[in-house]
Amino acid sequence: MNPVHRCLVSIAALAALAPIFGADAAVRTEKRENPVPDAEAPQQYQPDRTTTLPGMVLPNPAGQERMEDGVVIIGGHGRTPDRTPPFVGDFDAGRSDFVPYISPDRIYQVRRAEVIAIDIAPEYLARAERKGFRVLRSQRLESVGVSIDILKPPDGMSLKRALKRLRKADPQGSYEPNPVFAGMGRAGALPDDVKPSAGETRIGIVDTGFDATRPAFSLTDITQRNFGRGATTTPRDHGAHVAALAVKNGAGELLVADAFSGDGEFADAEGLARSLDWLASQNVPVINMSIAGPRSELLELAVKRLIARGHVIVAAVGNDGPDTPPQFPAAYPSVIGVTAVDRTLDIYEFANRGPGVDIAAVGVDLIADDSDAVAVSGTSFAAPAVAAFLASRIRDVSPGAARFSNTLIREQAIDLGAPGRDPVYGSGFLSPDQSFAKK
């Protein structure tokens, strides 16, 4: 059977299955014999306005196909409006700085025309420039111990083709797209009547910026630095709630890396690595990352180096649902992955599941005071309680801190679900003071 006939048969098979599985059948791929030439830009895929997370399979109208770097995508994936997971924001179909990128297990958003080159020798950078690549920026992350260069491919060259050429010229080099990450929960504005708390612990936060002059933070020492695409930090509600939860659970000092600044509430792997590098330079023992997205070589390397230095990283496992691929950084080894439960200890319906789940904390219908003015839900809002719990017991950066943290939460957890560790609750429920929870 020739390739064209095989592709047509696949389309016909999906059409036959549509009445059984619904219009949004699973995404299928078929390789074309003739990929898109370098000079021909792939068809622009415009996602609809369904909320999507970096790492999710993006919505595609059923019965339509699109081509991305020589791969035909047929069918679609999405959620009905009343079942949409709560993420920080929607990808705007009109944005020109994001493009979908296809990996073996998912489609995710990346920065347009940006390749991250990790610890590349100067001669290979020079060779790339001779081939038409342009170095947009270069930096050395001293605390992480890595050098990164952001390359722009030649005009008209897709990211897939660009990566293929760079890897062919430098087989030992490390090159990847610049993937996009989102916060793991949607939040309204923090009320002005939230009572401040005077804590003692020190916590690092990688998230959005926020207005530190709000009454909730009047007794907290806060330092914010900008690592996003904006000129300065950008105050947003997600970071405000994450920070307020950390304060309510005992944080007295917050060092906040705003990786989401600028237009659009999304961070990228470059900004996250720079954020971690700064927090490492400040010797913050426990770092909260209420964000999630696809795998990234750069982020994985930064996380691995910080854990080896003796930092503890706590991350939200994601709100993409129970049957989806793991989200990062929570799924990286030694990161404390936090899922969310409600006050009756039922699992949050949109929480990711799998081996990256280490512990559960309350993260559903959390409120900032004794009223019902603002309620927030998501694995983002469960993570700060765990970070604060660990920060109260780990005051210094010390090798082996991540291993000690894992032992500590296992010993303190109340087993839920199947006996022992399981992919839904991890080691069980951790119950530090949850003063934001509804009674």
What is the distance between the alpha carbons of residues 438 and 143, in angstroms, rounded to a whole number?
Answer: 41
Residue 36's pLDDT band (boundaries 50, 70, 90)? Answer: very low
Tell me which DSSP letter residue 75 carries.
S
Residue 23 confidence (pLDDT): 31
Tell me which DSSP letter residue 88 carries.
S
Answer whether 77's CB lies under 8 Å from 57's CB. yes
Residue 433: how many CB atoms within 10 A of its CB?
A: 12
Which residues does residue 430 pair with via DSSP β-bridges, in sequence order? Answer: none
Q: How many residues does the chain have?
A: 439
What is the distance between the alpha carbons of residues 231 and 281, in angstroms, rounded to a whole number?
Answer: 22
Residue 183 confidence (pLDDT): 81
Higher pLDDT, 198 or 250: 250
**Lowest-confidence segment of 36-45, 207-216, 257-266 by average pLDDT:** 36-45
What is the distance between the alpha carbons of residues 48 and 44, in angstroms, rounded to a whole number?
Answer: 13
Q: What's the mean per-residue pLDDT of the chain?
A: 79
Mean pLDDT of all residues in 387-397: 95
pLDDT (tens digit, 9 = 90+) per residue, 258-286?
Answer: 999 998 889 999 999 999 999 999 999 99
pTM of the model: 0.78
Sign of CA dihedral 389, 267, 294, 285: negative
Within 8 A by CB and 6+ apart from 244, the residues are 190, 194, 216, 217, 368, 436
Mean pLDDT of all residues in 410-414: 93
Residue 196's pLDDT band (boundaries 50, 70, 90)? Answer: low
pLDDT (tens digit, 9 = 90+) per residue, 75-120?
Answer: 222 222 233 444 444 444 445 689 999 988 889 999 999 999 999 9
Instruction: Tell me: pLDDT of 339 over 70.
Output: yes
Residue 188 confidence (pLDDT): 55
Residue 367 confidence (pLDDT): 74
Mean pLDDT of all residues in 211-236: 95
Answer whether 340's CB lies under 8 Å from 411's CB. no
Residue 228 confidence (pLDDT): 96
Burial class (CB in 10 A: 0-12, 13-18, 19+), 231: exposed
Residue 439's pLDDT band (boundaries 50, 70, 90)? Answer: very low
Residue 252 confidence (pLDDT): 94
Residue 436's pLDDT band (boundaries 50, 70, 90)? Answer: very low
Mean pLDDT of all residues in 126-138: 97
Tell me the two tokens of residue 295. 């795998």
Which residues does residue 152 pair with via DSSP β-bridges, in sequence order? Answer: 134
Residue 53 confidence (pLDDT): 40
Domains delineated in the chain: 3-89 (no CATH), 111-180 (3.30.70), 182-412 (3.40.50.200)
pLDDT (tens digit, 9 = 90+) per residue, 43-66?
Answer: 332 333 233 444 443 333 333 333
Higher pLDDT, 90 or 364: 364
Mean pLDDT of all residues in 215-227: 95
The percentage of residues in the chain with a pLDDT greater than 70, rounded to a whole number, is 71
Residue 95 confidence (pLDDT): 57
Residue 186 confidence (pLDDT): 59
The type of residue at 122 is: P
Instruction: Tell me: pLDDT of 302 over 80.
Output: yes
**Lowest-confidence segment of 244-258, 349-363, 368-382 by average pLDDT:** 368-382
